[in-house]
Structures are given as C-alpha cells and as structure tokens.
Amino acid sequence: MELRETFLSALRTLGSHKMRSALTMLGIIIGAGSLVAVMSLIAGLNQSVTAQFQSVGTDIISVSHFPWVQMGDSDEYRNRKRITIHDSDAIASLPSIGLVAPNIHTRRGISYGGESMRRVRVSGTTPEYETIDNYSVESGRFITQFDVERRRQVVVIGSDVSEKLFGFRDPLGKNMQIGGKGFVVIGILDEKGDIFGDSLDEHVIVPFTTFRKAFGSRRSVVVDCQPAAGVPMARAIDDIRALMRIRRQVPRDKPDDFAINTQEDLTASYKQLTGVLYFAMTGIVALALLVGGIGVMNVMLVSVAERTREIGVRKAIGARRRDVTSQFLIESVILTALGGALGIGGGAGLALLVRVATPLPAATTPGAVALAVAFSLITGIVFGVYPAIRAGRLNPIQALSYE
Amino acid sequence: MLIQLEGVTKIYEVGTEKVNALGGVSLSIEKNEYIAIMGPSGSGKSTLMNVIGCLDTPTSGSYCLKGQEVGDLDDDELAEIRSAEIGFVFQTFNLLPRMTAFQNVELPLIYSKAHRRTRAERVWSVMDAVGLRDRAKHRPNELSGGQRQRVAIARALINAPSIILADEPTGNLDSGTGEEIMQVFEGLHKAGNTIILVTHEEYIAEHANRIIRLHDGLIASDERSAGASSPTRPVGSTERA
Ligand SMILES: Nc1ncnc2c1ncn2[C@@H]1O[C@H](COP(=O)(O)OP(=O)(O)OP(=O)(O)O)[C@@H](O)[C@H]1O
Ligand SMILES: [Mg+2]
C-alpha cells in the first residue's frame, strides 16, 4: 500500500476519534514540551553566564574567606578568621603575583537631591581593581592612589546609579550621600549588564581607606589579584595557598580555611549545575514519554480490537501483513508526531515568554527541536510496534467473524 | 481448469473436540461457470468458500487455483492471490464505514499497487457496471442495503478477478432488492465472470447454471441446469468486466 494512502487513512481514523487522540497525545506533549522548554532555559542561562564570566576576567584570582560557590557546612564558614589588609599586602609581596586589589563590600542607602536608592552595593578598593576586575570608566576617572592615601570622600558610580539619582544632570563633581556620608562623584562606569535579574550597575566604588573610616574596618577583605607576567595561574595559586596557610596557621592535616576563587572554579560549578539540570530534565522527559508511550500503546491496542472486522475486510480484499502493520504503525507515529509538534510549540512559547518577561535570554535551539522530534517519533514507533504487529497477524476469517 | 479440489478436508479443533467442517470435497470448476452452493446451516458452505477464496487453507487434500497448489503458500502469498484472483461479496457488505463508496471500491487497487492515475478510471467503470456513479461520494450509512451491496460488488470486481465469491449476498436484503442484486450477478456472468454464490433460497439458486448441495461437509449433489447460457463455454472465449 502506498505511503500516501496509508497516511491519509491514518489521519481519517485519528480525526474520527479527536478526543481520544488528544488525550493520548498529552504525555507526548508534556514530554516534548518540557524537553524544549528546559533546553531553551539552559541555553539562555549559558548565554547570560558566559557574559558574566567575561565581565569577571579570565586571569583573576580572588582570595576570600568564603568561596564563590558554597557547598557543605556553613557553620564552618561562619567561624573562619577574617582576611585582613595585611594578608593582602603579603600576597602583593609574592614575586609570582602581579597586580593586587584588596576590596570590601557592604550595602547602603544612597541619595542625591530628592532621589534615593536603597541597599546599593558599596565597594571600597584601590586603583588596581579597575584592571583586575574589568571595569571601565565612561566619563571622569577611577579611584587613584592619591584618593586612597588621602582617604578622600570621592566615589565612582555605576550607570544605573547615574541614571536613577541624576537623570539628565551630569553627576561629575556633584555631592551625593552614601550611608549618610557625603561623597563627591569623580567617575561614571560603563554599563555591565544584569546577572539573574540583579543589576551589576547598581554599584558605587569608593577608596579602600575611606570605606574603612566611613563604614567600619572589621570586614573581611577580599584580595583580587593577577599572576605576575609570565607566571602560570597554577603556580600563583600554589604560592598564595602556601602563604595563606602559614599566615593563618592552618595545621598540615586540615583543609584551607579560606578560598581561592578563579573563573575556572565558577565554570566548573556552573557546569555541575547545568549537569544536574540536564539530568533532571532527562528524567522528566523519559518519564513523560514513557507514560505517553504506554498511553499510545493502550489506545492502539483498543483501536486494533475495535477495528478487527475492518482488518479482516482489508485482508480479504488483498492486504498483506505489512500493509496492515504499517497502517497501524503510521497511525501511532502520526499521533506522537502531532503530540511532539504541539509540545515543541508549547515549550518554545514558554521559552519566549521567559525571554520577554524575565532577564533570562531563553532561546529555543534547532538542536532542542530536533531532539524533541526524534524522541516523539521514536516513542511512536517503539510503542506502536506491538499493536501494529498484532493487527498484521490477525487471521482474516477470525477477524471477519469478529462481533 | 480454473479450480480443482481433491479430497479437501477442513477440521477445526475446539478444545479437545474436532469439527469436520469439510469431510473430503472434490470439485472442479471451469472459467465462466455460475455456481450456487446450497445446504443446511453448518454444512460447510462458508468453510468451502473460505478455502476457495484463499482466506483459509485445507487441513488435507489439494486445492489448485489456475494450476497452482494453494496449500503450500504463506500468508503474504495468499494475500497476493486474493488481491489478484478473488473478489469477495459478503452477506453483511463489510464496507469500511469512514470511507466513501468511491474509496471503498478503490481500496483493493491500492493493495494491488495499481498506479494512482489509472485508479480513478477503473473505479468509475465498475461503479457504472453496478449503476452507482451518482452515489460515489456517499458513505455506506448514506446508502440503502441494496446500494451497499452493489458497492461491495463493485469492490469485488475492481481487480478483474478470476472468481467472484458471494456468501449469501442477498441474505440481508428484502426479496425485491435481492432480485436486483441477482440481476447484477447475471450481468457479470454474461460478461464472462466466474461466480460462486452461497444461498439458502431456491429461487436465488435458480439463477445459477450449476447447483452444488453440501451436507455435513460432503457434496450431496452436483447438478447442472440446462440453462440458456452454457456453463462449459471454451476457456478464453470470454472477456471479463
Ligand atoms: N472457526 C471455527 N472454529 C470451529 N468450528 C468452526 C469454525 N468455523 C466453522 N466451524 C464449524 O464448521 C462447520 C461448518 O461451518 P460453516 O460456517 O462452513 O457452515 P455454513 O454451511 O456456512 O452454515 P450457515 O448456513 O449457517 O452459514 C460448523 O459446524 C461450524 O460450527
Ligand atoms: Mg455460512
């Protein structure tokens, strides 16, 4: 029997049982839909995280008393000794280390004129921070050594702060309030973008020394640094680790009580996260397709039983086994293909919604669509084969006398 | 010789019991014969039709169709013989309900892999032969019993089979409509077709040139009537519809 005829006849049959066909497709719709949706979200996540990584800089080493990605016992973290400015100086004196920028952070309310912003990230640091942490100044200047030495009440502001507090006015030279203290704006930073809905541009940077005087000197210091020219990353890290263990008197058999963060760690833990997501997705999709597939098989078995007489007639007028088998197989594949198409549409729609409504740039890739199509078709074949073979093997006389 | 049966038996096993549906039937049928098979219920008429129609194979004995032994063939080979050589007409019509009359008639052509372009032409010609050109777009439930049976006959004719097998074709029709259907068979016989039909009615059987009576799976009598159309016309002298 020609494929075209089989196809048309299958569509006719499915069309005459619309409700049943739709319910059968549900599992496949959910399976294909969640596959496309989750893969689109991960693609979006990849995109925004890659952008974020680039903004961090590839050769940064960041020494802090908490790691960037925390795992396990948080009590242990809380009891750790602070890292001090003396640790930062010691790291700076290592021959394998180039630039060093100690930095400390808090959140404070800020205001100018009638405008104010709450809980803005305030950082205190030194001039090297601009290079190491990939900042660039749009207008004015960054903090200088002179500002640090003199503890000047000056501030470099993020682009969001400039926009929200000053609007169309030029912020440079204006006197603004940070945590109730007056600061003169000396520079405006280039836009850095968002990470998970959190703006990187709601940020103000003041000299390290000024920060300690204004907001307290007891905070643990983060030491951002780069290896000296020509020194491999791994050696610089080893040197820092050895130095810090001695300075903090960590016993030989104990793990580090501080963290050395690199972009590589971030990438590794991000990969771990997406790995978990993929794993969970595989589970959901497999389950949905299994449920959908069993539904398809059930409906096809019912369909074969209902149409036993029809099968008998078809055989009597010349249908061979494979004509009947392929007819039923194509019906089940059409069922799952249709379900898959609806699911892909739904998943892609969901991804689009996320893209429009949230900062996550979710994107449906051709790969995700291809995978969903393949899964739908395979489900149709795998779960349709048994009923189809049963239909093909029916004895024509018994089928014809079936009531 | 079109059909040659030699000592054909068919034994059904139901549980431990054996039913001798055919107890050794020998029979030969020429091209263009018009045969009525009669006999009491359960005498094996339908079983014999199924064997002749290659829906079933004999338990023992030999059945040659056009010189080919059918007993040795597998499922798919039997299907191809049914497709090429046999046209079935059933008591209950057995049209596919979701298809139009036209599509029902066309279906055997699809299984015999007739080219799509020639199909419509052939469907129209057999629809004309049964006088149903104007009902082609109707579905079975939009047709009368007699019209349905004519669609079924058109479907049986479409592949120009060697034999048309009709098991009680008028059994579900009133006598007037039954008579109309018999006129259709009459016409087909005149056009050179070989027809075997099963009936319980003497007046239906009288249309045939030869009446075979079965009793308990055996041939009780086999009579040729001296009708106008001779049942032993020379092979090859006729043209099929
Ligand atoms: N599939 C089967 N399994 C077991 N026995 C069967 C089967 N088909 C037919 N028989 C038996 O074989 C015998 C002949 O049946 P068959 O259908 O050929 O009779 P028939 O002459 O066509 O009867 P009717 O006039 O009622 O149609 C019957 O005794 C019947 O019970
Ligand atoms: Mg019968």
Mutate to test the pocket of ligand 1, among B8, B22, B38, B47 (most ligand atoms within 8 A of CB): B47
| Whole-number Å distance between alpha carbons of A331 and A13 | 8
List C-alpha distances in Å: A179 to A112, A157, A183, A355. Answer: 12, 14, 10, 36
Characterize A40-55 residue by residue with b for buried, 16 or more Cβ atoms within 10 angstroms of its Cβ, and e for exposed.
bbbbbbeebbeebeee
Q: In a mutagenesis test of the A interface, which of B82, B123, B141 is the best target, namely the one with the most A β-carbons within 10 Å? A: B82
Nearest CA in chain A to B159: A317
Is residue A94 within 8 A of residue A244, CB to CB? The reply is no
| Whole-number Å distance between alpha carbons of A345 and A369 | 9
| Whole-number Å distance between alpha carbons of A20 and B99 | 20
| Whole-number Å distance between alpha carbons of A116 and A132 | 30
The burial of A302, by beta-carbon neighbours within 10 Å (0-12 exposed, 13-18 middle, 19 or more buried), is given as middle
Q: What is the pLDDT of residues A241-265, one digit of tens each?
A: 999 999 999 999 999 999 999 888 7
Q: Considering CB atoms only, which of A5, A316, A322 is closest to B55?
A: A316
| Whole-number Å distance between alpha carbons of A70 and A73 | 9
| Whole-number Å distance between alpha carbons of A388 and A303 | 10
3-state secondary structure of B228: coil
Distant-in-sequence, close-in-space partners of A38: CB < 8 Å, separation ≥ 6: A277, A281, A284
- Residue B228's pLDDT is what? 43
Tokens linked to B124: 């129209």
Tokens linked to A113: 């004129």
Q: Considering CB atoms only, which of B50, B80, B88 is closest to A317?
A: B88
For ligand 1, whether the C-beta of B47 sits within 6 Å is: yes
For ligand 1, whether the C-beta of B46 sits within 6 Å is: yes
Which residue's structure tokens are 């996550």? A360
| Whole-number Å distance between alpha carbons of B86 and B194 | 10
- Residue A23's pLDDT is what? 86
> What angle (nearest 5°) sits at the alpha carbon of residue A397, between those of residues A394 and A398?
60
- Residue B230's pLDDT is what? 45
Is the pLDDT confidence value at B110 over 50?
A: yes
Residues of A with a Cβ under 8 Å from any B Cβ are 1-2, 5, 12-13, 16, 309-310, 312-323, 396-397, 400
Confidence of residue A197 (pLDDT cuts 50, 70, 90): low
- Ligand 1, atom nearest to B200 Cα: 25
Q: Considering CB atoms only, which of B88, B113, B116 is closest to A316?
A: B88
For ligand 1, whether the C-beta of B40 sits within 6 Å is: no
Q: Which residues of B touch A319 (CB under 8 A)?
A: 79, 111
What does pLDDT average to over chain B?
91
Q: Which helix (H) or strand (E) holds A204?
A: strand A203-207
- Residue A66's pLDDT is what? 85
Give the mean pLDDT of A49-71. Answer: 78
- Measured in Å, residue A197 CA sits from the centre of ligand 1 at 78
Residue type at A200 in one-letter notation? L
Please answer yes or no on whether A318 and B75 come within 8 Å at the CB atom.
no
Give the mean pLDDT of B114-123. Answer: 91
Which residue's structure tokens are 């016993």? A251
Confidence of residue B128 (pLDDT cuts 50, 70, 90): very high
| Whole-number Å distance between alpha carbons of B227 and B235 | 19
Tokens linked to A341: 């198409």
User: Which residue has a Cα nearest atom 30 of ligand 1?
Assistant: B42
Between residues A267 and B240, which one has the greater pLDDT?
A: A267
* pLDDT > 90 in chain B, percent: 87
Is residue A224 within 8 A of residue A61, CB to CB? The reply is yes
Ligand nearest to the CA of B166: 2
> Among A352-361, B7-16, B30-39, which is the least confidently predicted range?
A352-361
Please answer yes or no on whether B111 and A314 come within 8 Å at the CB atom.
yes
List C-alpha distances in Å: B127 to A125, B43, B112, B149. Answer: 95, 35, 18, 12
- Residue B161's pLDDT is what? 95
How many CB atoms are closer than 10 A to CB A381?
Answer: 16
- Measured in Å, residue B209 CA sits from the centre of ligand 2 at 21
List C-alpha distances in Å: B22 to A208, A397, B26, B215. Answer: 108, 16, 10, 9
Q: Measuring CA to CA, which residue among A378, A344, A338 is closest to residue A364?
A: A344
Q: What is the pLDDT of residues A361-398, one digit of tens each?
A: 888 989 999 999 999 999 999 999 999 999 999 999 99
Provide DSSP, A288-337: HHHHHHHHHHHHHHHHHHHTHHHHHHHHHTT--HHHHHHHHHHHHHHHHH
> What angle (nearest 5°) sits at the alpha carbon of residue A277, between those of residues A275 and A282?
95
Is the pLDDT confidence value at B121 over 60?
A: yes
Which residue's structure tokens are 């209950």? B92
> What angle (nearest 5°) sits at the alpha carbon of residue A47, between those of residues A44 and A48?
90
Crossing angle of the two packed helices A18-56 and A3-15, in degrees rounded to 10: 100
